[in-house]
Amino acid sequence: MAKILGGITSSHIPAIGNAIERELFEDPYWKPFFDGYPRVHRWLEEQQPDVAVVIYNDHGLNFFLDKMPTFSIGAAPEYRNADEGWGIKPIPSFRGDPELSWHLIESLVADEFDVTSCQEMLVDHGFTVPMSLMWPDFSYSKVKVIPVCVNTVQHPLPTPARCYKFGQAIGRALESYARDSRVVILGTGGLSHQLDGERAGFINKEFDLMCMEKIVDRPQELTGYSIHDLVRLAGAQGAELIMWLAMRGALTGKVRQLHSNYHIPISNTASGLLLLENGTG
């Protein structure tokens, strides 16, 4: 059976990939953001996961406005970065785990989540930036990855409640896997941000901090929001919080917060980092 070690939330903005490439870790603008991550690196070093299930959103790379699956899962042996932001970076590709991907797809469909299965998939900043943040110096090749995409781009978006239940179904699917595998779940994106329109640059610190607190012990209290509530309270792209809720749903055990870091702004975005341990019992 797969063991769910814990979950991590992280921002995914493309400017972070650029800062990593330029090694701006000590730069005054970037330092308070990057300083959040060594605690997570140590935990990953201790835990030695075999697989990262990365819940993120595709930003128009695989799926465009004409065809937009609500939930989709990669089942490829390899995933290549094709993010156009700041120029395509020649970073190492990501190793897939088709066997676990197919187990997840079969289990989710049986559990009434009709996901789109993707035997080929390119990945963008929503995926590559969190992976590069978690495993420094692009050392992520030691873990296999399962990309899980949630539509946060083309309305109608799935509700927070639906995404939480989707995460719970991912947790059940992992626990019914016959092979031993140590799994970490990443929930990427957020927190409050709006990239365009009259409210471009909008950030709601109070709402962000409330979400970071509640998602640990009382995630159900965040599932009452509608997507329009999230857009109003957290900005149009702040709706990316639904991927955090999917991650949290997948933590089936006793959840304990090991670390957090909140920093504003990074680019136009409030960046939140949480490390949650999934304990037994």
| Contact set with ligand DHB (CB under 6 A) | 13-15, 59, 189, 193, 195, 237, 267-269
Angstrom distance (rounded) from CA 36 to CA 183: 22
Cβ closest to ligand DHB, residue 196 vs residue 217: 196
Instruction: Tell me how far, at minimum, the Cβ of 131 lies from ligand DHB, in Å.
Output: 15
> Which of 125, 155, 228, 263 is the catalytic position?
125
Angstrom distance (rounded) from CA 250 to CA 228: 24
Among candidates 141, 203, 207, which has minimal Cα distance to 13? Answer: 203
Cβ closest to ligand DHB, residue 160 vs residue 189: 189
> Which of 12, 59, 103, 193 is the catalytic position?
193
Contacts of 193 (CB under 8 A, 6+ apart): 202, 203, 234, 235, 237, 238, 240, 268, 269, 270
Tell me, yes or no, if 103 is annotated catalytic: no
User: Would you say 144 and 98 are in contact if contact means Cβ atoms under 8 Å apart?
Assistant: no
Nearest 5°: CA angle at 173, between 47 and 279?
Answer: 35
Tell me, yes or no, if 12 is annotated catalytic: no
Q: What is the 8-class DSSP label of residue 125?
A: H
Cβ closest to ligand DHB, residue 30 vs residue 113: 30
User: Would you say 71 and 113 are in contact if contact means Cβ atoms under 8 Å apart?
Assistant: yes
Instruction: Tell me how far, at minimum, the Cβ of 129 lies from ligand DHB, in Å.
Output: 9
**237 token code pair:** 């792209």
Instruction: Tell me how far, at minimum, the Cβ of 259 lies from ligand DHB, in Å.
Output: 22
Q: How many CB atoms lie within 10 A of CB 150?
A: 29
Among candidates 211, 249, 261, 221, which has minimal Cα distance to 31? Answer: 261
Cβ closest to ligand DHB, residue 233 vs residue 251: 233
Cβ closest to ligand DHB, residue 110 vs residue 200: 200
Instruction: Tell me how far, at minimum, the Cβ of 269 lies from ligand DHB, in Å.
Output: 4
Instruction: Tell me how far, at minimum, the Cβ of 185 lies from ligand DHB, in Å.
Output: 19
Catalytic sites, residue numbers:
125, 193
